[in-house]
Amino acid sequence: MDIFVQQLINGLTLGAVYAIVALGYTMVYGIIQLINFAHGEVVMIGAMVAFTVINALAAAGLPPLAVVLIGAGCAIPVCMLVGYAMERMAYRPLRLAPRLAPLITAIGVSIILQHLAMLVWSRNVLAFPQIIPITTYSFFGAIITGVQLTILGLCFAMMAGLALLVYRTRLGTAMRATAQNPLVARLMGVDVNRVIAATFIIGAALGAVAGVMVGTYYGVAQYTMGSVLGLKAFAAAVLGGIGNIPGAMVGGLLLGVVEALGAGYIGDLTDLCRYGLGPAASCADGGHFVLFGSNYQDVFAFVVLILVLVFRPSGLLGERVGDRA
């Protein structure tokens, strides 16, 4: 039971970060039906920029929270700029092109960003300096750290903020109008190009914060961290129903929990000795014959993605929509 609660807490923390990244995918998809492959790289750049600043300030003697905030404060504008630049240069010229075209440029942008990051930061792993004192709280027999609590709180605050932005402001109304029908939105006086650019910028800003959080959580950042994170977040967005903002939040949290519980239990569940099926030689004296260990953790997001696509392609909260050819 302790392990269950512990994995639940770990899963929710990671899931909250997935949700924030998934929001970036889902907002862009909702408006222009483009899978922004490069979004994972934006998250990576956010983490790398923040880590560079944090490492530079680590010795300055500022309070740890201030250091991390300054790091995030530097990462957010950089990512917003990257998000805007890629929309402007790689996606906007192709808005009327066949669907395959922006998808291919998105992959190109993702490769370019990843390798530019490698040029700037080298192949080495950036480590998070030991500035945050580890505080732990006990919670139903499990341990929750201060960092985890902060990440969870911040993620929920950002989700609430985004919900307010989308459902309560003029920009949000314009975004929803553009998502429904760009042509009619334009006729109603919405500057569609500005709205789309704003969507990319907001998504990138969220991605930057997510990058700082995931980096702080794991304690490391590297130029390759974006692609798997991006893939998982996309799976989360599809799980919740792509294009659907509350869906991305639910999908992210759920995926994080599935992944953590899966990684925690798959070893036990696929231990053939438990079922009396394993070869006698390995099962003797309480031995194990584990088919799949926790090193298959990265597979779960993908399995979830496939299952959702097979059984409920519109996701948990999404509506069934036809092809817009």
Which residue ranges make up the site for another protein (CB under 8 A)? 33-35, 37, 89-90, 93-94, 97-105, 107-112, 114-116, 118-119, 227-228, 231, 234-235, 238, 282, 289-293, 295-296, 298-299, 301-302, 305-306, 309-310, 313, 323, 325
Nearest to 249 by CA among 7, 92, 18: 18
Please list the alpha-helical segments (H only) found in 34-180.
39-57, 64-86, 100-121, 146-168, 170-180
Cβ–Cβ under 8 Å, residues 109 and 87: no
Give the nearer residue to another protein in terms of CB position, either 40 or 264: 40
**Nearest approach, Cβ of residue 306 and another protein (Å):** 6
**Nearest approach, Cβ of residue 28 and another protein (Å):** 12
CA 187 to chain centre: 34
**Nearest approach, Cβ of residue 118 and another protein (Å):** 6
**Nearest approach, Cβ of residue 16 and another protein (Å):** 22
Residues forming beta bridges with residue 220, ordered by sequence position: 127
Give the nearer residue to another protein in terms of CB position, either 70 or 104: 104
Cβ–Cβ under 8 Å, residues 20 and 155: yes
Residues forming beta bridges with residue 142, ordered by sequence position: 139
**Nearest approach, Cβ of residue 20 and another protein (Å):** 19
What is the Rg, in whole angstroms, of the alpha carbon atoms belonging to the chain? 21
**Nearest approach, Cβ of residue 39 and another protein (Å):** 11
- Residues near 170 by Cβ (< 8 Å), separated by ≥ 6? none
Give the nearer residue to another protein in terms of CB position, either 209 or 235: 235
- Residues near 34 by Cβ (< 8 Å), separated by ≥ 6? 28, 91, 102, 103, 106
Which single residue is written with the structure tokens 């903020």? 161
Cβ–Cβ under 8 Å, residues 29 and 35: yes
Residues forming beta bridges with residue 137, ordered by sequence position: 144
Give the nearer residue to another protein in terms of CB position, either 99 or 168: 99
**Nearest approach, Cβ of residue 72 and another protein (Å):** 27
Give the nearer residue to another protein in terms of CB position, either 59 or 310: 310
Give the nearer residue to another protein in terms of CB position, either 103 or 143: 103
Instruction: Please state the length of the chain.
Output: 325
Give the nearer residue to another protein in terms of CB position, either 172 or 247: 247
